[in-house]
Amino acid sequence: MKALVIKEFGGPLLSEDVPVPQPEPDEALVRVKACAVDQFDLTIRDGKFPTAKTPIILGHEIAGVVEAVGANVDNVKPGDRVTSTLYLTCGRCRYCVTGRETICADFKGYIGIHTPGAYAEYTTIPAVNLVKLPESIPFAEASVIANAIGTPYHALTKRAKVQPGERVIVTGAGGGVGTHAIQLAKMMGAFVMAVDIGEEKLALARELGADVTFDASREDFSTTAREWTNSEGVEVVLELVGTKTFESSLKSLARGGRMVIVGSHTGTTLSASPQAMIANEWEILGSRNVTKRELTEVVALVAAGRIKPIVTGTYPLEEAEALHQRLRKQEIIGRVVLEP
Ligand SMILES: [Zn+2]
């Protein structure tokens, strides 16, 4: 089969002919129909993910068709359309058995890092990770569900617990996660201020329901956030950018406000005043991806047309290098998808 292989971190994506993998007893072999591309791929490729090892086949946002299954697999069968959660979890620890498997205490790693990913025609995936897809969701749209929609779904519903009428800032609103975060927050009855750089991204944010947009290339967005909320500040910030926007995000929070941190690609440290944290009873929360149960909920929302996957282009595997370059320059709006 054709696959894009990274032989050394920082090196090229090499198009190679490699053997089709064989599923282990608990795995399914999946014919990859779509694999979305995201910033995390660049982090891995650049050698900035500590436990990653070469050679490596990237690709963790997957949709495809089950081709074959291992001897122990009975939850999916050949011909099933599927997507997958991203994490390899133990299934036995206290977090796994209480529905919080993304913080598994015996975490085994990531699909597309610690197992070969879907920048390839086929991949093997633990069957426990797979969620079936209805016929009505095209593969390209399905490939963005687990991460680009699932991540903000978990962050907004389980971590921020957004309530109707609350005001929510989404930073990095024009990207893959942000465009779906806007839709989800609106679906939950919140008012949304979308922050990103460039009019094209902000126009899409408005189209998706953002009540206010702010071009972050101008200045600190907290002034606008205060104006928008009669000086009160916002109840929730969904922080998809990280260090770069953290100060403005914090200055935008209302008393009792919650900030959920999802993005970390612009730095490794955050600083906050403990006095301000105490005086305002701010909550700063981390949020990690999406559980399998939540993924089934998100698939249902997409199938019902409540959330529209934002796929702004589909490309053959050969285009992956060019897509990575555009991603590096922050040029990609929504998600782009490879179709191996
Ligand atoms: Zn576990």
DSSP 147: I
Neighbours of 254 (CB within 10 A): 20
Q: Ligand 1 centre and the CA of 286: distance in Å?
A: 18
Q: What is the pTM of this model?
A: 0.96
pLDDT in tens, 125-174: 999 999 999 999 999 999 999 999 999 999 999 999 999 999 999 999 99
Q: Ligand 1 centre and the CA of 121: distance in Å?
A: 30
Please provide the average confidence, as pLDDT, over all residues in the chain: 96
Determine the pLDDT at residue 53. Answer: 95
pLDDT in tens, 24-75: 999 999 999 999 999 999 999 999 999 999 999 999 999 999 999 999 999 9
Burial tier of 92 (Cβ tally within 10 Å: 0-12, 13-18, 19+): exposed
Q: Ligand 1 centre and the CA of 289: distance in Å?
A: 15
Determine the pLDDT at residue 198. Answer: 94
Q: Ligand 1 centre and the CA of 70: distance in Å?
A: 22
What residues have a C-beta under 5 A from ligand 1, the ion?
89-90, 93, 96, 104, 106
Q: Distance between CA 192 and CA 229 in Å, rounded? A: 11
Let me know: does 77 contact 30? Beta carbons within 8 Å: no
Q: Ligand 1 centre and the CA of 225: distance in Å?
A: 39
Residue carrying the six token digits 């205060």: 226
Strands ordered across the beta sheet of 167-171: 212-215, 191-196, 167-171, 234-239, 253-261, 283-286
Let me know: does 299 contact 320? Beta carbons within 8 Å: no
Torsion angle in degrees (nearest 10) through CA of 201, 84, 151, 217: -30
